[in-house]
Structure 1
């Protein structure tokens, strides 16, 4: 069954909207594509209304929440190529060059905007922790696994699993001497927030790696590491954000190794020795 147009729904229910809701409708009808990418906070601020009014507006149109409405709006206003990746592919443009260009731009913007103090704090929290919990769901789970692969090389006590329920179980065992690195592109998923809230409830320190620094997840973090996305945040599996996250994890690894000094290098060399024995 084909989904009803979000634009059509706004127009058909326009007369039943309140004055403030009509302000939202007017803005979206006049700027449909520009209304997709900003977060709910930024769009509400731009229109001059509250976030709660945005949510009520979406529900009055028949959507479960603002994010569902936003996705529906994107489907009819954002080109298919931009929904698949992060930017529209112009006619005749080489896809290979476009993908590399976007990734390079995301890396550059991340380097320029990442909070250096938060980065140093995150490395110190991991260095001083008893155990490091590495968590992420969906595409972010791959990033968490990469962080796990890096940190066990230098002898840190790391906890990782790919299953959500197992992650919840691990979170229930964390304590005040531990730290968790939670990775989420949007920072808005219910399950990711459940992990963060369980960890915080157990007084575990929380490092958040996300491209949405105004997200509910980021607000729970003791240290927030932000990655830039070159394009639309509506693309939940943002490719350029993933690459920038991997590089930021590499940088964390090197920073922690610096803090560990001789002990870290000894652990790294022991790992290299045992792996070398398995090579022809």
Structure 2
């Protein structure tokens, strides 16, 4: 022990080195490499960085499945601490640190299968309503936390700017494929109740790129995708950028392929205890964006909504309860 090494520091370093094996993770490979990096860097880490390091080694699934902000909250540190830890361990950034954990969780399997295995392992032996209710409560808590994170200042500013760009666009192209098609369709439908310059981009009949044929610099693409990113969405977004269009991205990371093309990025945490990522936080952001657009629309927006409602009433679009016949005495 050197003169400047405290006994508890030496114990912590040992604990850090043993964490991956103790958690059932491999003693060779990328995660063992991370543990070795932590051990080598330990003496130069601040108390907060050591706390973060202990947490990521003890909770590998949390690193793989949750957002940086939520992971930091679980570890009891600031999100910026996770970024500083990644750099202290000689990674280019937090996502580079996170990727080995995601690969470990997949274990050569698809992401959905790996999550399903984790879900089943969690519920193994669960008996009674209370045991099952814990899973549902965790899913609700994850969605609530993600929606709260969606209101942090950086995301709020991105929403405001996205609203401005969409309102100024000649045409708004709404792009979301596979699971994200429902989100894109909702935005397009609700937006079209007020404005007539929206185009829903989908892959029906192989016409994905056909729908973007007239896109140009005066247009905006609202592009939606989360890990694993749909290839068609990534390609169509790049195609729109090549045509000079601006991109507003709803995605799960500032380093996602959509964010790389975007002028505004709204980051959404989709982590869930379930086998499938949660789209609830993304739905909340879509609704927030729609609300901002209409709130800024003035009398023109109100008049358009009034006309639309009158037209829908005229064609009997919505069910109404039949009038009851009065009984004669």
CA shift in 2, pair 1:179/1:21, >3 Å: same
CA shift in 2, pair 1:186/1:114, >3 Å: farther
- TM-fit CA distance, 1:96: 4.0
CA contact (8 A) 2:171 2:199 kept: yes
Q: Deviations over 1:92-129 (max 9, x none)?
A: 54444343333222222212355222211111111111
What is the TM-score normalised by the length of structure 2? 0.62
Higher relative contact order (CA 8 A, sep 6+): 1
Q: Deviations over 1:206-225 (max 9, x none)?
A: 00011222212112111111
Where do 4+ consecutive residues of structure 1 move more than 4 Å?
8-11, 24-32, 41-47, 66-70, 81-84
Aligned match for 1:127, one of 167, 171, 177: 167
Matched, 1:71 2:112: no
- TM-fit CA distance, 1:23: 2.3
- TM-fit CA distance, 1:138: 1.2
Matched, 1:265 2:302: yes
> For residue 61 of structure 2, what is the aligned residue in structure 1?
33
Distance 2:115 2:138 in 1: 23
Name structure 1 gaps, 5 residues minimum.
Answer: 1-7, 59-65
- TM-fit CA distance, 1:276: 1.6
Distance 2:145 2:121 in 1: 16
Distance 2:31 2:277 in 1: 31
> For residue 119 of structure 2, what is the aligned residue in structure 1?
80
Distance 1:45 1:220 in 2: 25
Name structure 2 gaps, 5 residues minimum.
Answer: 1-23, 38-55, 68-81, 124-128, 321-329
RMSD: 4.0
Aligned length: 250
> For residue 23 of structure 1, what is the aligned residue in structure 2?
33
Higher radius of gyration, 1 or 2: 2
CA contact (8 A) 2:177 2:225 kept: yes
Distance 1:126 1:23 in 2: 46
Matched, 1:141 2:169: no
Secondary structure of residue in 1 paired with 2:222: strand
Distance 1:265 1:35 in 2: 46
